[in-house]
A = this chain, B = another copy of it.
Amino acid sequence: MDEGRRRELEAAGWRAGDAADFLGLTPEEAAFVEVRLALARHLRELRQKNGWTQTAVAERLGSSQSRVAKMEASDASVSLDLMVRSLLTLGATCAEVGQTIAQAA
């Protein structure tokens, strides 16, 4: 957000910031959320790059389409565990996963 716009909003009684600020997350909580988001994005990219449907991915993972959708949405009901395992199963390398996390925040 550019500085001018922020001041404008603050003058109107708003506080500028990201979701973490808004939700009052601690820095490590915020980092964790960022990690989850990064992995979710990576998961979707990997799927789309290969032209797979969520259903196809679900089959490959031994899961269901709805869970794949939730993974890509970084839904609260999916764990890091599931996301990382899924990435590896879909062919991502540890290096790839690691880099995704490293760049999360």
Residues of B within 8 A of A31 (CB): 88, 93-94
Contact mask for chain A residues 3-39; partner B; CB cutoff 8 A; 1 contact, 0 none: 0000000000000000000000000100110110000
Question: In the complex where A79-B79, A88-B32 touch, is A98 in contact with B103 (Cβ < 8 A)?
Answer: yes
- Rounded to whole angstroms, the CA-CA distance of A88 and B104 in the bound complex is 13
Q: Would you call A1 an interface residue if the criterion is a C-beta within 8 Å of the partner chain's C-beta atoms?
A: no
Residues of B within 8 A of A32 (CB): 84-85, 88
- Rounded to whole angstroms, the CA-CA distance of A94 and B67 in the bound complex is 26
Q: Would you call A101 an interface residue if the criterion is a C-beta within 8 Å of the partner chain's C-beta atoms?
A: yes
- Rounded to whole angstroms, the CA-CA distance of A99 and B94 in the bound complex is 10
- Check if B79 sits within 8 Å of A35, measured CB to CB: no
Q: Which residue of B lies closest to A105 (CB)?
A: B94
Pick the contact of A85 from B28, B93, B103 — CB < 8 Å?
Answer: B28
- Rounded to whole angstroms, the CA-CA distance of A31 and B104 in the bound complex is 21
